[in-house]
């Protein structure tokens, strides 16, 4: 059984309240940091831990903190990105809803390390009820002396605020989030300058994901080396995974990085196998923006090694045979799922959520959604498939923020591994036009023949 660092106490009755959280060891990291450590020492422990950003990019957190500019007389800010909008991802919502004080504690400890005296939690509009839970936890923290002036007599001051967004996926991109937090339209900024130099209100700012900030608590409590001892290689610690789709046990799981994908997918401790006794067809391992993996590449890499739940193993072989751990949105398809329909559904989302600032994304997402809809409705032709590939290539790498890549990668990967299914929608259009469209005979991925030297 995997060790749990973030969800170890989520089953404790009343853990959402301050009294129960405190009685179960809550706020110990704040006490340790403020009474026995310097801000630089806290940052050093985070560096030792090898913690990587849990929002999707996987950038080393301690290194990101070390980039923060520290000009004299200029305030610094920590902003928590709680704008969890990636389709298939719901782990941060679970953590904030069940154990809100863990995030508040992480914000205090992290803000101390960064020298921030004002910090923000920016939460998506659809999580409005969760924002109320967080505000209650923050009020309890103020009432018990963990926020405000001269915390624990240390001379350190911190004010923490919750800001509710308006439900825009683009505001999950850190610079668009900062624009929104300043009261402007949530359009991504051109970088450089990066937020660490010129972020919120043009001051040095660190933006971290909910899970990343929560992980600072066990790192400070137990030490960075103890955290780094969990996991494999550069994928250290534990990771929250949002598991959904055609599985027997959907939900949020905390795993040790390095767990075999096969064990996560089929063991009773986690997903419990494919629902209704059906066969596995494909998996999107890191949220809607990452490439889909066909059945034969889900549990094994292209070289036949066990695929692991790590940043490196899931990306093994690049996008030709791999994917990404991303935000940990683990979506499973059984044999009767239509890849074309699911890809079209993703494309509808990205077209709707594009801010329109970049022409390749604004126009390209529209074209991809239109062509995919045409294919899904049985009105396409074979040339449409290559047209989609061409449009995806023109979007990828040509936009200010990663939303363009997030829209292009799923389409390109779906065609790479399931071209025969796209062709089926053209060659068997009458079947596809059936209003009850669903594959009566499963269309499974076609494993390419081995290359003979």
> pLDDT for 174-202, tens place per residue?
999 999 999 999 999 999 999 999 999 99
* 100 assigned to some structural domain: yes
pLDDT at 25 (0 to 100): 96
Q: Is residue 152 part of a domain?
A: yes
CATH number of domain containing 282 = 3.10.20.600
Question: Is residue 3 situated within a structural domain?
Answer: no
DSSP secondary structure of 80-129? EEE---STT--HHHHHHHH-HHHHHHHHHHHHHHHT-SEEEEEE-GGGHH
**pLDDT confidence bin for 453, thresholds 50/70/90:** very low
Residues 199 and 68 in one domain: yes
Q: Which of 300, 334, 368 is the last residue of a domain?
A: 334
Beta bridge partners of 208: 80
Same domain, 330 and 343: no
Residue 306 located in a structural domain: yes
Band of the pLDDT at 3, cuts 50, 70, 90?
A: confident
Say what the pLDDT of residue 165 is.
94
Q: How far is CA 227 from CA 156, 234, 321, in A?
A: 27, 12, 30
Residue 452 lies in a domain: no
Asked if residue 10 is part of any domain, the answer here is no
- Please indicate, yes or no, if residue 374 is contained in any of the structural domains: yes
Kindly state whether residues 28 and 42 are assigned to the same domain.
yes
Q: Is residue 306 domain-shared with residue 397, that is, in the same domain?
A: no
Q: Give the CATH number for residue 354.
A: 1.20.1440.230
Domain annotation covers residue 447: no
133 and 211 within one domain: yes
d(CA 259, CA 105): 28
**pLDDT for res 126:** 93
Same domain, 251 and 398: no
Strand, helix or coil for residue 211: helix
What does the pLDDT look like over 73-124, one tens digit per residue?
A: 999 999 999 999 999 999 999 999 999 999 999 999 999 999 999 999 999 9
343 and 329 share a domain? Answer: no
pLDDT at position 440, please?
A: 56
Whether residue 114 sits in one domain with residue 31 = yes
The pLDDT confidence band at residue 452, using thresholds 50, 70 and 90, is: very low
What's the pLDDT at 434? Answer: 66
pLDDT digits 0-9 by tens, 270-287: 999 999 999 999 999 999
Query: Are 308 and 344 members of one domain?
Result: no
Sign of the alpha-carbon dihedral angle for 265, 410, 320, 241: negative
Domain harbouring 179, CATH code:
3.40.50.11540
Same domain assignment for residues 327 and 345:
no
Domain end (from 222, 246, 275) = 222
Residue at which a domain ends, from 181, 201, 222: 222
Together in a domain, 70 and 180: yes
Do residue 325 and residue 407 come from a single domain?
no
Q: Domain range holding 39? A: 18-222
Q: How many domains does the chain have?
A: 3
What is the C-alpha to C-alpha distance for residues 189 and 401, in angstroms, rounded to an integer? 8
């Amino acid at each position: 059984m995997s060790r749990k660092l973030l969800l170890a106490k989520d089953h404790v009755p009343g853990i959402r309240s301050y009294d129960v959280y405190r009685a179960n060891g809550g706020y110990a990291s704040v006490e340790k940091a403020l009474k026995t450590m310097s801000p630089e020492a806290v940052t050093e422990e985070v560096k030792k831990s090898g913690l990587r950003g849990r929002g999707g990019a996987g950038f080393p957190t301690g290194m990101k903190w070390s980039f923060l500019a520290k000009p004299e007389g200029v305030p610094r800010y920590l902003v928590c990105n709680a704008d969890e909008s990636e389709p298939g991802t719901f782990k941060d919502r679970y953590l904030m809803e069940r154990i809100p004080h863990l995030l508040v504690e992480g914000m205090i400890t992290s803000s101390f390390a960064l020298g921030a005296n004002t910090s923000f939690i920016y939460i998506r509009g659809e999580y409005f009820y969760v924002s109320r839970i967080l505000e209650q936890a923050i009020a309890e923290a103020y009432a018990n002396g963990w926020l405000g002036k001269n915390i624990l007599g240390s001379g350190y001051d911190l004010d923490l605020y919750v800001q509710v967004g308006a439900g825009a996926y683009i505001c999950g991109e850190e610079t668009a989030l900062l624009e929104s937090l300043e009261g402007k339209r949530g359009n991504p900024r051109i970088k450089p300058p990066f937020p660490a130099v010129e972020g919120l209100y043009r001051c040095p700012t660190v933006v971290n994901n909910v899970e990343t900030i929560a992980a600072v608590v066990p790192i400070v409590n137990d030490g960075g080396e103890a955290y780094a001892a969990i996991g494999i290689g550069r994928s250290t610690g534990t990771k929250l995974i949002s598991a959904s789709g055609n599985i027997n046990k959907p939900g949020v799981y905390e795993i040790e990085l390095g767990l075999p994908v096969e064990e996560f997918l089929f063991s009773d401790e986690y997903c419990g196998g494919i629902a209704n006794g059906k066969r596995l067809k494909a998996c999107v391992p890191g949220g809607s923006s990452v490439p889909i993996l066909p059945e034969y590449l889900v549990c094994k890499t292209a070289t036949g090694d066990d695929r692991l739940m790590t940043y490196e193993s899931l990306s093994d072989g690049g996008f030709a045979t791999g994917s990404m751990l991303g935000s940990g949105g683990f979506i499973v398809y059984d044999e009767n799922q239509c890849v074309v329909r699911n890809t079209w559904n993703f494309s509808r989302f990205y077209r709707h959520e594009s801010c329109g600032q970049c022409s390749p994304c604004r126009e390209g997402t529209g074209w991809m959604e239109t062509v995919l809809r045409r294919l899904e409705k049985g009105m396409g032709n074979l040339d449409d498939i290559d047209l989609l590939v061409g449009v995806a290539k023109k979007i990828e790498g040509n936009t200010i923020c990663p939303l363009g890549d997030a829209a292009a990668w799923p389409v390109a990967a779906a065609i790479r591994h399931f071209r025969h299914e796209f062709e089926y929608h053209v060659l068997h259009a009458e079947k596809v036009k059936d209003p009850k469209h669903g594959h009566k005979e499963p269309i499974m991925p076609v494993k390419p023949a081995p290359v003979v030297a």
